[in-house]
Structure 1
């Protein structure tokens, strides 16, 4: 059965309070107001008498949302809803059509006033949570029970956990990379153990701000291709200008012991040989340092 075929226009006062119900709504359609009305129905026990009769206390009604901001808004709106319903029962009249329905359904007005007053007083013990805070509450509530189940142990040596996490990372990202990138990485990191030894000192730094964060292999492959293009471009420029570079250095007033004719020819020949080779990785001749502004 398609979900569209069972969709109905929402009537908050006809929703049965037992079982599981799904309410779909987009932004700005009154989701919070709907929750407030359902909350009041649960407090006052307003529903089909054959199915639902119990009046719930505030700590028995669980409301779970995503963010702390939404949780605070729900708390305030529910508290205000209880206050407004309480005043409506006291005055026995209201211009609000939603509260008019409640007045029609309440058979004992004095009992309703008592229930709503008690709810106002008990709002500090209401069960309104974010998903995380609800889980934390359950864990704290049943600490002794959970401790017996999991038999907590103090881990004195975290090295095995670090290694396991590194191995998981290695399998997840390293194995799925193209072969040419794997060969480049393998030049520096032969195994997960080797990688862990390199990165472990960073574990004790509180915060590291990387200029660029690579979140997936597709982005890593893109950066790799850009690096290869830069190296190829440098090689092309070297092959065009290397003879001019040699002449320019010969005309400079520099240390001729270091930049002797023999050394220059040797360095330039090696770099030229590298520039003519196929670019498969990030290997760059160390002697290029002699052709930078600073050595």
Structure 2
């Protein structure tokens, strides 16, 4: 797939692939293209991922992509620029934009980079709950549990209890005599 051929018409993209296939590279390039081709501002971009580490890496790759293009435009040194970025520039540069205009747009993006929203799904949902707590009827500080181990434990406990209660009465009676307790505090 040629990233330079991706249509930027609907502004919504989902990049899904296995590890190490270039998802972050693709997203960083799509951000660059949206900013320079479509005049999208940093505060109009939302990138979501599962981990803080991935978000940090993605921010770095986006910023690096803009810096590398600027360096290339200023010095034409090809050591820092990849073929995808070079091909994009060569196809794009003559479409009513001078080199100086592109550098100016890169500088504007870099100066407003702090407005770019690259966050985890968890933090994004927390932010929505915080921002709209009155509208959704939450008065206390909301807390979203982000520990999947607790979810697994709850599911396993609930499945075990459902299965246990469906056993025949004599078996339940035998288990009760052994005084096995659940995390719910009652003896089963």
Are the aligned partners of 1:92 and 1:103 in contact in 2 as well (CA < 8 Å)? no
- The answer to whether the Cα contact below 8 Å between 1:89 and 1:113 also exists between their aligned partners in 2 is yes
Counterpart Cα distance in 1 of 2:105 and 2:43:
13
Residue 149 of structure 1, aligned match among 136, 158, 163: 136
Structure 1 residue 93: Cα displacement: 6.3
1: CA distance between counterparts of 2:163 and 2:49?
37
Of the two structures, which has the highest relative contact order with CA contacts closer than 8 Å and spacing of 6 or more? 2
Deviations 1:147-200 (A, max 9, x none): 13325379xxxxxxxxxxxxx9987533312335522454558xx9xx85659x
1:69 to 1:171, Cα distance in 2 relative to 1, 3 A: closer
Query: Following superposition of structure 1 onto structure 2, how do residues 1-295 of structure 1 map, counting pairs within 5 Å?
Result: 10-19=1-10, 21-45=13-37, 54-91=38-75, 94=78, 96-104=82-90, 105-106=92-93, 107-108=96-97, 109-140=99-130, 142-143=131-132, 146-150=133-137, 152=139, 172-177=159-164, 178-179=167-168, 180-187=170-177, 188=179
TM-score, with length taken from structure 1: 0.47
Query: Structure 2: any 5+ residue segments left out of the alignment?
Result: 142-154
Residues 269-289 of structure 1, C-alpha deviation per residue, up to 9 Å, x if partnerless? xxxxxxxxxxxxxxxxxxxxx
* In structure 2, distance between residues paired with 1:170 and 1:97: 53
Distance across 1 between alignment mates of 2:138 and 2:28: 41
Cα RMSD for the two superposed structures = 3.3
Q: Which has the larger radius of gyration?
A: 1
Q: TM-score, normalised by structure 2?
A: 0.70
Unaligned 5+ residue runs, structure 1?
1-9, 46-53, 155-167, 200-295
Report the CA distance shift for 1:39/1:152 in structure 2 as closer, same or farther (over 3 A).
same
Distance 1:183 1:151, change over 3 A: same
